[in-house]
Amino acid sequence: MGVLYPQVIRIVRSHLPNRSDDDDDVQEVFMKVFSKIDQYRTEQDVFDHWVARIAVNHCRDRLRSLRTRRVLTYAELNAEEASFVGQLLAQDDPAPEAARTEETLAVLEKLLSGLNERERIVIRLLDLEQRPVREVAELTGWGESKVKVTAMRARRRLGERLAAMERKAAP
């Protein structure tokens, strides 16, 4: 692997912004190489190229994870929406019928706008349309575990955005 290190570090440094944890990324690439070694086919792939593809894919994944998400503030809500969110945050247990109002849908759309496309699709199908995970997996072509993980991450981001709105609204 010592022969591959210069190639992998060059890929990491050229694809990722200047950061101090280049060695961590290189280590992660080699961990992926070792964990996927059973997928390497000697008759089709040259090992150096196969490792380079793993390194590039790792960099793409890292760049996606570094992308910042737009933060929604109360200033982006109109007066009715801000009032509605304030009322919801003040209640311990919002009434289920409130979830179907136009104000809720408007606020929800603004919250969803901060999610990426995949997360929005999963939240809409699972939570708004209340489809089962298996059906969402069939519709998207993903595995059930990917649907569940995507939904979990999207819900966490929605919660963070709502908590940020709540902090900004607090006196």
Same domain, 129 and 84: yes
Same domain, 62 and 85: no
Same domain, 84 and 141: yes
Same domain, 111 and 127: yes
pLDDT beyond 70 at 74: no
Same domain, 95 and 148: yes
The domain boundary residue, chosen from 43, 66, 89: 66
The pLDDT of residue 113: 78
pLDDT tens figures, 119-136: 888 887 888 778 788 888
Domain with 126 in it: 74-169
Span 9-18, mean pLDDT? 78
The pLDDT of residue 38: 86
The pLDDT of residue 44: 59
Tell me the CB-side half-sphere exposure of residue 98, using CA atoms within 13 A.
11
In the chain, the number of structural domains is 2
Report d(CA 9, CA 23) in Å as an integer.
Answer: 8
Of 23-32, 93-102, 120-129, 136-145, the least confident: 93-102
Same domain, 100 and 158: yes
Percent of the chain with pLDDT over 90: 11
- 18: which residues sit within 8 A by CB, 6+ positions away? none
Residue 55: which CATH number? Answer: 1.10.1740.10
Same domain, 79 and 62: no
pLDDT tens figures, 49-58: 888 888 888 8
The pLDDT of residue 158: 83
pLDDT beyond 80 at 26: yes
Same domain, 143 and 89: yes
Percent of the chain with pLDDT over 70: 69
**Confidence tier at 32 by pLDDT (50, 70, 90):** very high
**Confidence tier at 92 by pLDDT (50, 70, 90):** low
Same domain, 131 and 158: yes
